[in-house]
Amino acid sequence: MLAVGGFPSTPSVEVVDAADAPWTLPTVPPKCSTAKINTGDVAGCIVASQVGMPETRGWPEPPFPEPVPVGELPWVDLARGSSGPVVMLVQQALIANGASIIADGQFGPLTETAVKTYQTANGLPSTGIVDVATADLLGVHNSGTGAFPPSGWKWLGWGYNGSPILTQWEAQLASNQAAIGSLRAGQLRAFNAALPLFEGFLAEIQAKGYQIREGGTYVFRCTASTRKDCAGLTRSALSNHAYGLATDINTVANPLRTYYGINGNTACQTPMATDMPQWVVQVAEKWGLYWGGYGWSSGCTSPAQVKTSASRDPMHFEFNGSVAQAQAILNFNAGPGACIDVADVNGVVTERCYSRIEKPAATTRVVVTTNAPAGATAALVNITTAGAATNGYVTAEACTAMPVGTRAWSNGNARPGRAVAAAAVVPLDAQGRFCIYQSTALHTIVDVQGYFAPHAVAPNGNLYTPVTPVRTTDTRTLPFCTPAGVCDDTGPIPAGTEIVNTAASALDAVATLANITVVAPSVNGYVTADTCASLVPGLQARSTLNYATDTVANLAVVPSATTEQGVQFCTYSPNGVQEIIDVQGFFAPAAQGGLAYSPLAPSRLVDTRQCWTDPVTQVQRCALINSAGSIVRMRAPAGATAVLVNLTAVQATATGYVSAGACSALTPGPQAQSNLNAVIGSAVANVAVVPVDADGTFCAYMSSSMHLAVDLIGTFSAAGALRFTPITPVRVHDSRPPA
């Protein structure tokens, strides 16, 4: 059985009635060794705080509200009781000279001792006072500063969240995509590697009966033991909350307090205010989280330890390990998943491993290596999204630095609870890579169908010849045959049956451009298309189209063979389906003529949810939904014979379809072929190669009321730059855990 949020609910600690009593006088378990943490098995020990900031353990380095220097001021001696940024600078200089103190901006007895030690070692009077001579030797000066907080920082009274300067920092944080018990979706924010630890902990304790009344993770501030607004402090005072590496829950019942001894007893024997039973803390430790109830500044190791005071923070749980250790702990608790390369906003590529219960989060940029031949500059791929909990989209882009935020175009749209495939022509870097940006948490799968390369690199490459779209297969009304020549009058095609598609062509084609549609299947499944010689019935290692229980289409360039009957390819599905195939063109050797491809920087030509203008009539429409039977006209780049576009149907009020073509070919009324099928409640996308009229326009017809977005990806023309080489489709990327 799975707990809330899909995390394992099997207790790691035996829970009995007495175990629910608050753990007011805890004893700290031993520290986990580095070797133990690296295994991920950390139940029964603590992942304690370490020397250095989180960025020294692989986490990104955040900005910090540094005050702007405005000049040097006269030196003011510092002694016990002093505080502020200059004290912090002194402490940092002492640490650099070997002192074992904390740079917290508070001049206490430990700092005083460190000053005396430094003075003695350097032949100065051992006063413990930082005078001008001591400060000069330490290299510390009393610099004046401007207004605080500095420009770009907005203090909200509890944190700097949402400040303009934090835009890029906060864009790197992921959030829980679904509710976790009483915690709503989006309430937790952390880096991808750490978020699942908090999700697992909070899901498990709620599944076992602990009630969470309030909670959160990310707050950009300094520690509660210093000034939370960080005034006069340095980044060493940043709280783990600023990294999303800490969570506070049930703060009223679990206050941060300093406890003192009662009747002469040690402070460690003073019960703390908490509603946390021991088993809750032990679950946290299983997920690698340190409990603030043990205390800060060395805390109380047990009730027997002698201390005059003890600071305890029982609301607080934090992760103190590295990125790799977070992954190890997650894999141990949830099972190993897949390891993939990801690119950050700066274009830095690193490997990221996910547990079996994880999906790459929203804003992740997945790196896909296509194994392209030398010289290839673009690839034809099939991108499949799976496991999305919400509607979203994916965008294929370069893996270089990219601005933070949403993308202005898309290559496919994800839908909850189903796999969705979308063909795309994607640019490749010199290493044969491209990146997929995803707007929501999901898995991605990529199958390569071929490559584009310049004429000089691929002189034997193929050119494209468009044809008037023709429906060559429709198992609802037409007979279909297997490669063995066994034919049926009409469908559905029996489960596990391979069928042949044949199209008349004046070319000796090596690949067919076709739109493949599955109509209202009864179960989930997929279709794979390839040459009849290469496609063997049975479990497939790649797919061309994924379907659920509604009508769905996808464009494909399918390797084909020219026979006496025409150009042929085969399709296979493990389930019984009705299938439609509309052939739109062929790729053939360049000696037979045709069009070459030129990629463009993707751009949105029209989005009827916004304002758009008909390029011929110059009539503008703004945010008006297109009625059934509407035709949207667009202008292609100069010289284009055909355009490669991504069509997206949005906010459909009824099921329907979109057909794209030369405007002269789209007559009013129902069309004989379609490019995508719209559904209610989700955006649906499909790529299309659309012929262009002599006046440079092309059109899209909508059979039902809907909005339409069209993204221009590239053009085909006689002067195009790239030729195409099809391959037997091969899977090059899959972020899902191994079976």
Task: Determine, yes or no, domain membership for 727.
Answer: no
Strands 412-414 and 392-397: antiparallel
- DSSP, collapsed to helix, strand or coil, labels residue 398 as coil
In tens, the pLDDT along 182-238 reads 999 899 999 988 999 999 999 999 999 999 999 999 999 999 888 899 987 888 889
Task: Determine, yes or no, domain membership for 737.
Answer: no
- Whether residues 387 and 476 share a domain: the answer is no
- Whether residues 568 and 466 share a domain: the answer is yes
In tens, the pLDDT along 126-182 reads 999 999 999 999 999 887 767 889 999 999 999 999 999 999 999 889 888 789 999
**pLDDT for residue 4 is more than 50:** no
C-alpha span between 570 and 408 (Å, rounded): 36
C-alpha span between 348 and 327 (Å, rounded): 19
- Whether residues 45 and 184 share a domain: the answer is yes
Task: Determine, yes or no, domain membership for 724.
Answer: no
pLDDT of residue 400: 96
C-alpha span between 210 and 284 (Å, rounded): 12
- Whether residues 141 and 169 share a domain: the answer is no
pLDDT of residue 232: 79
Question: Could you tell me how far CA 105 lies from the centroid of its own chain?
Answer: 38
- Whether residues 501 and 371 share a domain: the answer is no
Residue 422: closest CA among 404, 408, 433, 438:
438
- CB contact at 8 A, 504 and 566: yes
- Whether residues 556 and 634 share a domain: the answer is no
Query: In the predicted model, what is the mean pLDDT of the chain?
Result: 92
Q: Of 304, 324, 344, which residue is a domain's last?
A: 324
Average pLDDT over residues 645-667: 95
Task: Determine, yes or no, domain membership for 244.
Answer: yes
Which parts of 358-442 are beta strand (E)? Answer: 365-369, 378-386, 392-397, 412-414, 420-427, 433-438
- Whether residues 431 and 442 share a domain: the answer is yes
Alpha helix ranges (H) inside 65-223: 85-96, 109-121, 132-138, 167-171, 195-207
Task: Determine, yes or no, domain membership for 736.
Answer: no
Q: Of 145, 164, 187, which residue is a domain's last?
A: 145
Cβ–Cβ contacts within 10 Å for residue 592, how many? 14
- Whether residues 36 and 179 share a domain: the answer is yes
Residue-number span of the structural domain to which 138 is assigned: 69-145
pLDDT of residue 353: 84
- Whether residues 289 and 435 share a domain: the answer is no
**pLDDT for residue 670 is more than 70:** yes
Task: Determine, yes or no, domain membership for 631.
Answer: yes
Task: Determine, yes or no, domain membership for 665.
Answer: yes
- Whether residues 162 and 300 share a domain: the answer is yes
Residue 511: closest CA among 451, 564, 554:
451
How many domains would you assign to the chain? 5
The answer for residues whose C-beta is within 8 angstroms of residue 682's C-beta and 6 or more apart is 391, 413, 415, 416
Q: Of 287, 302, 324, which residue is a domain's last?
A: 324
- DSSP, collapsed to helix, strand or coil, labels residue 309 as strand
Question: What is the CATH number for 123?
Answer: 1.10.101.10
pLDDT of residue 227: 86
Average pLDDT over residues 569-579: 97
In single-letter form, the type of residue at position 668 comes to: P
Measuring CA to CA, how many Å separate 248 from each of 93, 273, 289? Answer: 33, 15, 12
In tens, the pLDDT along 14-34 reads 444 566 899 999 999 999 999
pLDDT of residue 6: 33
The answer for residues whose C-beta is within 8 angstroms of residue 35's C-beta and 6 or more apart is none
Question: Could you tell me how far CA 181 lies from the centroid of its own chain?
Answer: 23
- CB contact at 8 A, 637 and 654: no
Task: Determine, yes or no, domain membership for 159.
Answer: yes
In single-letter form, the type of residue at position 652 comes to: A
Strands 642-650 and 707-717: antiparallel
**pLDDT for residue 436 is more than 80:** yes
- Which H, E and C letters describe 530-556, residue by residue? ECCCCCCCCCCCCCCEEECCCCEEEEE
- Whether residues 497 and 574 share a domain: the answer is yes
- Whether residues 562 and 708 share a domain: the answer is no
